[in-house]
Amino acid sequence: MNKHQPMAKTVSAPALHLAGRPRLRVLGTAISLLEELRLRAQTDLGIDVTFDNNDFLTTQYKAAREPETYDIYDQCFHNLDIVWHWRAIQPIDTQRIVLWDEINDLTKTGHIGPNPRLGLGDVPARKLFVQPNLALGDTPSRFISMLPTTHNFDSFAYRTDQAHDDVGMHSWSALFDERWAGRVALVDEPAIGIFDAALAAQAAGLMSFDDIGNMSVQEIDQLIDLLEERKKAGFFRDFWKTAEDAARLMIAGETSVQSMWSPGIGILNSRGVPVEQAVPAEGYRAWHGGLCLSKHLSGRLLDVAYDYLNWWISGWPGAVVARQGYYISTPQRSRQFMTPAEWGYWYDGVAATEDLPGPDGQIRIKAGSVRSGGSYWQRANCIAVWNTTMDEHNYLVRRWMQLVGGRGEQAS
């Protein structure tokens, strides 16, 4: 399929592993390549860890075409198809994952709780298990494609001093509301931003989709044309790439409503900006991250890689990512490394009983704050669509690059 064909690019020479203290090379994005985690992994595991931190498209390209340059691929389930198609990663043996039985059912079955709402798009459960023919599916097997780790349920944010908590702020349609013309921003990542836009267009009655999780070329064209028309009219203030960039837009007073990730909310809270993450009636755009093993791993370094995978779900790392608003696949393990106030705010959805720090130790949540959307279990049962690499991903990327002012040939 189109989405399986990476762009042509010069492949760099693979890094060498020297004898002695093992060195593990982790390829990923800013979602989970936190310095606090790197340093602690080195201490706990007695190894050297290097992070190769890139944007989504660069990371996906390197993972598919340069498997000799990394040992661990730290990404999301919606970025799996291309690397699996190119056999850049190897199956993970769950018999070597000590806490496999404790990983929750969000990725194993697609839902947690009695009232499942799987959501459309790249549902992780449908890509988790390696089948006998090496396809990926939801039939349980001993081997998996990716070890489930961090995840979240995203929406958009609004400044409560400008956009009050009225009915209009409880729908994705707010991103297309003319009240905010010139003060709206979207995330600049095609496999993510396209769904914020699609959910908004559909909620506003501007478009409908046969399958919002796998759009046709015609639907992509119609949606991008709509976005281009609004961009030319000055409706969008910007398209951002990082949570820091997103936060800066609101801190500077340039936006009232925009796509937003949890770390951005934390930054805004720490700066005293009045902001709220919306709880859309249509549901969240969800994503699930995880860890993959490069195809070249064997022997001692493969053992080290499995140690790293087991460490990631052992408790402490999950507590760190919780402090930037992300969940972990083994929450009860991480609860041991969180204060009651942290667990109450991040997982139970109750008011913070004290000021809470971010991963860097700086206060991000003020006492009395309540996380929008309720508890982890409530939010996990309100998924509209998962981040997805659609069948027409290459075409989408070309059109998206044209929209944001990039070069259309940069598809992955």
Per-residue pLDDT tens for 136-161? 999 999 999 999 999 999 999 999 99
Q: Which two tokens mark 167?
A: 């009915």
Fold equal for 2-151+285-335 and 153-282+382-403 = yes
Please return the burial class of 178, using the count of CB atoms within 10 Å of its CB with bins 0-12, 13-18 and 19+: exposed
How many CA within 13 A on the CB side of residue 370? 9
Q: For the chain, state the CA radius of gyration.
A: 21
Q: What is the pTM of this model?
A: 0.92
Predicted pLDDT at 10? 31
182-200, pLDDT tens digit by residue?
Answer: 999 999 999 999 999 999 9
Predicted pLDDT at 118? 86
Please return the burial class of 348, using the count of CB atoms within 10 Å of its CB with bins 0-12, 13-18 and 19+: middle
Rounded mean pLDDT, 313-333: 98
pLDDT band at 57 (very low <50, low <70, confident <90, very high): confident
Rounded mean pLDDT, 48-53: 98
258-274, pLDDT tens digit by residue?
Answer: 999 999 999 999 999 99
pLDDT band at 1 (very low <50, low <70, confident <90, very high): very low
What is the tally of helices (H) and strands (E) in the chain? 14, 18
* pLDDT exceeds 60 at position 3: no
**Domain 153-282+382-403, classified CATH 3.40.190.10, yes or no:** yes
CA proximity to 349, closest of 153, 187, 166, 161: 153
CA proximity to 153, closest of 315, 398, 387, 362: 387
Sequence spans of domains, the chain: 2-151+285-335, 153-282+382-403
Q: Identify the CATH number of the domain defined by range 2-151+285-335.
A: 3.40.190.10
Exposure string over 17-33, b if 16+ CB within 10 A, otherwise e: eeeeebbbbbbbbbbbb
Predicted pLDDT at 165? 65
Q: Which two tokens mark 240?
A: 């951002």
Contact in structure between 375 and 347 (CB atoms under 8 Å): yes
Mean residue pLDDT of the chain comes to: 92
CA 408 to each of CA 59, 122, 242, 287, 401: distance values in angstroms, whole numbers, following the listed order: 18, 24, 21, 25, 5
Q: At what angle do helices 217-232 and 393-404 cross, to 10 degrees?
A: 10
Count of CB atoms within 10 A of residue 226's CB?
18
* pLDDT exceeds 60 at position 407: no
